[in-house]
Amino acid sequence: AQTVTQSQPEMSVQEAETVTLSCTYDTSENNYYLFWYKQPPSRQMILVIRQEAYKQQNATENRFSVNFQKAAKSFSLKISDSQLGDTAMYFCAFKSSGDKLTFGTGTRLAVRP
Amino acid sequence: KAGVTQTPRYLIKTRGQQVTLSCSPISGHRSVSWYQQTPGQGLQFLFEYFSETQRNKGNFPGRFSGRQFSNSRSEMNVSTLELGDSALYLCASSLAQTLWDGYTFGSGTRLTVV
């Protein structure tokens, strides 16, 4: 079974600064996808960014980018130019073919004005 | 296009009762997954339905059941409610044609058991 670990329960960052959220996972699969989801107080989980395991190039979406280290099974999320609206719970998730989407325990990010 | 719709948004039930939650996926999405979210356990997978068939199941007791209709709408049912069933129940839909097809989540149903 796949496991996803987020070792930072809470993080805080000053507005306009950069923050990195950590995620590690364990799997014996070769083909899989990794995701970062954001859950603001509105409760709805929103997809932030995704990465295919076969792609060496790190995914980027505007201010969000990942550092994907396949050998180390690490998938960190970098948020640049942090904004107040980035305040939320962030979940790292893993999916392989035919299996469910597995989430980490989440990191609560607070952006300070 | 319309997102994933979960009803009701909030629900208060008494121990021993049963409850049914509904999820309408994005049009064209054939997969619906259910998750239970609690502060202590995080996001726990309940089950996934694809074209009316249960494709995956989590480690929940038989009191938790679900189904999917021909229009892809899904319902989950919890019988003999316990206090520990109080949680946010999230539904997610997906095209599920390739791994790349991500999941779109609804806003959840907040269930409180008293």
* The Cα angle at residue A55 between residues A51 and A60, in degrees rounded to 5: 45
Residues whose CB is less than 8 angstroms from the CB of residue B66 and which lie 6 or more positions away in sequence, other chains included:
B34, B46, B47, B49, B54, B74, B75, B76, B77
- C-alpha span between B45 and B62 (Å, rounded): 14
Q: What is the pLDDT of residue B84?
A: 96
Side chain identity, residue A108: R
Nearest to A47 by CA among A31, A64, A32: A64
Q: Touching check for A52 and chain B: CB below 8 Å?
A: yes
Smallest CA–CA distance, residue B87 to chain A, in Å, is 12
Q: Judge whether residue A39 has pLDDT over 80.
A: yes
Average pLDDT over residues B55-60: 92
User: Using 50, 70 and 90 to split pLDDT, how confident is the model at A31?
Assistant: confident
Average pLDDT over residues A23-52: 93
Q: What is the pLDDT of residue A41?
A: 87
Q: Touching check for A27 and chain B: CB below 8 Å?
A: no
Q: Judge: B42–A100 Cβ closer than 8 Å, yes or no.
A: no
User: Using 50, 70 and 90 to split pLDDT, how confident is the model at B66?
Assistant: very high
Chain A, residues 67-106, CB within 8 A of chain B, namely: 91, 95-106
Chain B positions touching A36 (Cβ under 8 A) are none
Grouping H, G, I as helix, E, B as strand and the rest as coil, residue B74 is: strand
Residue from A7, A45, A46, A96 to probe the interface with B (highest B Cβ count within 10 Å)? A45
Dump pLDDT digits (tens) for B67-85.
Answer: 999 999 999 999 999 999 9
